[in-house]
Amino acid sequence: MDSVSKPDFNCIQACLRNERKAQFQLYEWCFPELMRVCSRYCKNRDDASALVNTSFLKLLTALPSYSNDKEFIPWMRTIAIRTAVDAHRAKARRMEDFVGDEWPSEHEPDTLNEVISSIELERIEQAIGALDENERVVFNLFEIEGFSHSEIANLLNCSERSSKRYLHRAKENLQNKLSALRPARKAI
């Protein structure tokens, strides 16, 4: 995203008048940040691109409610996150309810931070992208977006316990995947 914190006021006004050229300019301006957000919720770039397009359409629809005195990027990111959650929820409705093990009463020491610090960002993103969809969505909402388990449970229509379980499994899976990559990196 360029150094400008919000698109030009004239561009927004032109978008409100449904001027296609301005909408395209706004799309080009928004695309990098929307792709960053949406990529965290999708397994591949094609799905992320589709989510970006849906997010942008929602952004255009919500543009009349945007107030120029508030920051555009957080407003835009909120739309993308909610679109990703909505897509996940719609997909989850088509799948069976999650049936899993009980939430562990004892936790192993968290060495995930040690592993993550030694792995490149691209590999981390690939590992997150390879998570089960429920795990990936909860991990992103909790660890990256800063939502609480209560907020996640409300967004995803699941229990807080399920949210915690998904996060725990996501961290375990990430730790296993990233630990497997660690020795390979030392050999280089």
Kindly list the distances between the CA atom of residue 159 and the CA atoms of 21, 126, 150, in Å, as whole numbers in the listed order. 45, 28, 8
Question: Which tops the pLDDT comparison, 144 or 24?
Answer: 24
Structure tokens at 84: 């990703």
What CA–CA distance (Å, rounded) separates 10 from 175?
Answer: 47
CATH architecture under which domain 9-94 falls: Orthogonal Bundle (1.10)
What CA–CA distance (Å, rounded) separates 27 from 13?
Answer: 14
Q: How confident is the prediction for the chain on average, in pLDDT?
A: 79
> What is the structure's pLDDT at 117?
47
**Mean pLDDT value of segment 84-110:** 57
**The domain defined by 112-187 carries CATH number 1.10.10.10:** yes
What CA–CA distance (Å, rounded) separates 36 from 52?
Answer: 9
> pLDDT tens digit string along 41-91?
888 889 999 999 999 999 999 999 988 788 899 999 999 999 988 888 777
> What is the structure's pLDDT at 56?
95
Left, alpha or beta for 11 (phi > 0: left; psi -120 to 50: alpha)?
alpha
Same fold, 9-94 and 112-187: no
Task: Examine the pLDDT at 28 and tell me if it is beyond 90.
Answer: yes
For the chain, the domains span 9-94, 112-187
